[in-house]
Amino acid sequence: MTRYTVAVDDSDAAQAAVEWLAGVVDPGLDVVKAVSVPELVGDLPSRAEHRLLEARAVLLHHQPRLRVTTDLVDGGTVRGLLRGGATGDVLVIGGRQRRRLLAAVRGRVAERVVAEATMPVIVVPEERVELGGPVVLGVDSRSGAAALAYAGALAARWHRELVLVRAWQSPSTTTPFGAVYFEGDLSTWERTADLQLEAALHAVDAAHPDVAVLGRPRRGSAGHVLLHESASASLVVVGRRHRSAVTGLLSGSVGERLMHEAHVPVLIVPPRAMLPGDLSRPTSHAPDTD
């Protein structure tokens, strides 16, 4: 059983997250808990409870046999969502992209949740584009084992192609005259990327032999490359490498850029996240994409 927790508030992003989740869960294998945290100012518990009932109705409209519970959590938004999702396997939240300044003023909730979560977090953009494309994974040797496991399991569950993307570029240094790239060992960096990609391909093939998997080495920054690949994806998966110890935010990470700019859901996986035991079992249906 995979336990999903979905965060619910008054935003279009939260509505998009609920709608997306309703299309991908399997009532026979998954359960969902909808969580809402009343804002500290101007938000009554009764409004939050109403949001939860609406979210539950949407989920059951799409999946009448789905087990759905609700939870009204006290406290600050970030702490409340993390506490509400602590008993689940995957936390699903909406990502605000249209009003990023307002989101920053309110504390950049999505970034802080992703940075501090011990469970994988799926960020669904408010302007989500419905695509039936592959699951795309950003291969990264420093944060990739858990992300690779989730990407392979979800591709198997949803009957999707899995595309493994290894972005690479020659190292550089900053000088008073601009960035200087070390091109002399270009073939070495390219070969290293190829070896990492080959290892990831073998790992997926061993765990999920029925999944169609492709490997794509791409020269360029990981953020730029994965944003380009997301244009035809149904989900992008990346590992969470680090966060700021001072602010608890993602700090210039690939996941942060994808959260802000991609128009498909982004799954960000902490390095020690454990895969639910049943997630590798294929479902009886592919997720809706209409």
Domain boundaries, the chain: 2-269
CATH of domain 2-269: 3.40.50.12370
Q: Give the list of residues 6+ apart from residue 11 with CB closer than 8 angstroms, or none.
A: 94, 96, 126
Q: What percent of the chain is predicted at pLDDT more than 90?
A: 57
Buried b (16+ CB within 10 A) or exposed e, 132-154: ebbbbbbbbeebbbbbbbbbbbb
Instruction: Specify the amino acid at residue 110.
Output: A
- Is 288 strand, coil or helix? coil
Condensed to tens digits (0 to 9), the pLDDT of residues 156-210 reads: 999 999 999 999 886 656 666 665 555 556 777 788 888 999 999 999 999 999 9
Question: 30-36 and 2-7: which strand pairing?
Answer: parallel
Q: Edge-to-edge strand order for the sheet containing 90-95?
A: 67-72, 30-36, 2-7, 90-95, 121-125, 266-269, 235-239, 135-138, 162-168, 213-219
Nearest to 61 by CA among 278, 288, 283, 234: 288
So what's the pLDDT on residue 97? 66
Q: Give the list of residues 6+ apart from residue 22 with CB closer than 8 angstroms, or none.
A: 58, 59, 61, 62, 63
From residue 85, give the alpha-carbon distance in Å to each of 71, 114, 141, 236, 282: 10, 12, 28, 21, 24
Give CA–CA dist 121/24, Å, rounded.
Answer: 15
Rounded to 5 degrees, what are φ and ψ at 173? -135, 155
Question: Which pLDDT band holds residue 245 (cuts at 50, 70, 90)?
Answer: very low
Instruction: Specify the amino acid at residue 131.
Output: L
DSSP code, position 284: S
What element of type H or E holds 48? helix 45-62
- The token pair at 274 is 């454990």
Condensed to tens digits (0 to 9), the pLDDT of residues 95-152 reads: 886 655 445 445 478 888 999 999 999 999 988 888 789 999 999 876 578 999 999 9
So what's the pLDDT on residue 185? 64
Contact 283, 29 (CB under 8 A): yes
- The token pair at 212 is 């169609």
> Please, what is the end-to-end C-alpha distance for the chain in angstroms?
26
Contact 73, 6 (CB under 8 A): no
Q: Give the list of residues 6+ apart from residue 249 with CB closer than 8 angstroms, or none.
A: 108, 111, 112, 115, 243
